[in-house]
Amino acid sequence: MLSSLNLYYETIDVAKGSLFKLEHMHMMTKLRPFVRTFLKEASAMFEMYIYTMGDRPYALEMAKLLDPQGEYFNAKVISRDDGTQKHQKGLDVVLGRDSAVLILDDTEHFGFNCKSLAETKSDENETDGALAKILEVLKQVHCTFFEKLQGDLVDRDVRQVLSSVRGEILSGCVIIFSRINHLALPTLKRIAEQLGATCLTELDPTVTHVVATDAGTEKARWAVKEKKCLVHPRWIEAANYFWEKQPEENFFIKKTTTQS
């Protein structure tokens, strides 16, 4: 929702009421684009909490910036001082069942002892950035949870709903990787599969996408010959970020002289 930096030098111009200098905390905080609209619309669907590993004074100060009229969070502000485990966020201080709680954070490793279903970046624009897209996803999840699922509410699990929505993004895509850094490959494969893609290790006629950084590899040249989609790993990352399959033509890779 916001980004904070410790600053001891002269402030820059404040634009659009989204940049705040907190003199007493030696800090500047900038609200993310679209956050006002996001909070207004999300509050109509969810009971919302602020949860931060900052101390209590920091948490309350951020709540004032995000919700100056006290419309959205009221007293539902949780800081590290409220946690039951040191340096660890936990849902035990949130008034709700785990199966009915969604966590929105800007990093995969947000401190909760649970699995992340999406990672967002920090830079975005007002109309089609991460918060705008996530608001669409939240509306879809909310509708499915309350209107489309069968059975008692107590038996429903919002985590399964979110995972199902996520698994439709690259559904039908069959992916093989070519010369991807061995440290990056497990993460890319995990994300692709969570988005609904099937990942293979050997070339197969069913392959729809070859993901590579070099158009000269054997698999990449096979993709061109067989008229398969040859895309950069950023294609997967963008689908993950925007919760939507991206146009392959925006992620084509340039041919090089590599032949292995």
Looking at residue 147, which CATH number applies to its domain? 3.40.50.1000
What 148-154 contacts at long range (C-beta under 8 Å, 24+ apart), as own/partner pairs, is none
Whole-angstrom Cα distance, residue 211 to residue 223? Answer: 10
Contact between 217 and 260 under an 8 Å Cβ cutoff? The reply is: yes
The reply to whether 148 and 78 lie within a common domain is yes
* For residue 16, pLDDT beyond 60: no
Three-class SS state of 212? strand
| Percent above pLDDT 90 for the chain | 55
The reply to whether 186 and 238 lie within a common domain is yes
213 or 109, higher pLDDT? 213
- The predicted pLDDT at position 223 comes to 97
Q: Helices marked H in 144-184 — which ranges?
A: 158-166
The reply to whether 113 and 217 lie within a common domain is no
Whole-angstrom Cα distance, residue 34 to residue 36? Answer: 6
Contact between 75 and 86 under an 8 Å Cβ cutoff? The reply is: no
Per-residue tokens: 39: 């909070």
Q: Whole domain around residue 243: which residue ranges?
A: 174-251
Domain CATH code at residue 235 = 3.40.50.10190
Q: Using one digit for the tens of pLDDT, what is the confidence trace for 123-166?
A: 556 677 889 999 999 999 999 999 888 888 888 999 999 999 99
Sorted by sequence, the CB contacts under 8 Å of residue 8 that are 6+ apart come out as 26
The reply to whether 201 and 116 lie within a common domain is no
Sorted by sequence, the CB contacts under 8 Å of residue 85 that are 6+ apart come out as none
The reply to whether 162 and 45 lie within a common domain is yes
Residue 14 in domain:
no
Residues belonging to the chain: 260
Q: Using one digit for the tens of pLDDT, what is the confidence trace for 155-190?
A: 899 999 999 999 999 999 999 999 999 999 999 999
Whole-angstrom Cα distance, residue 51 to residue 60? Answer: 11
Work out the number of other CB atoms within 10 angstroms of the CB of residue 80: 19
- The predicted pLDDT at position 107 comes to 66
Whole-angstrom Cα distance, residue 66 to residue 131? Answer: 14
| Percent above pLDDT 70 for the chain | 80
Pick from 110, 54, 107, 48: which is nearest to 83 by CA? 54
Per-residue tokens: 12: 């820059």
The reply to whether 160 and 183 lie within a common domain is no
Residue 28 in domain:
no
Contact between 213 and 232 under an 8 Å Cβ cutoff? The reply is: yes
**Full DSSP string of 35-57:** HHHHHHHHTTT----EE-SS-HH
Residue 240 in domain:
yes
Count: domains in the chain: 2
The reply to whether 123 and 146 lie within a common domain is yes
The reply to whether 44 and 126 lie within a common domain is yes
* For residue 13, pLDDT beyond 70: no
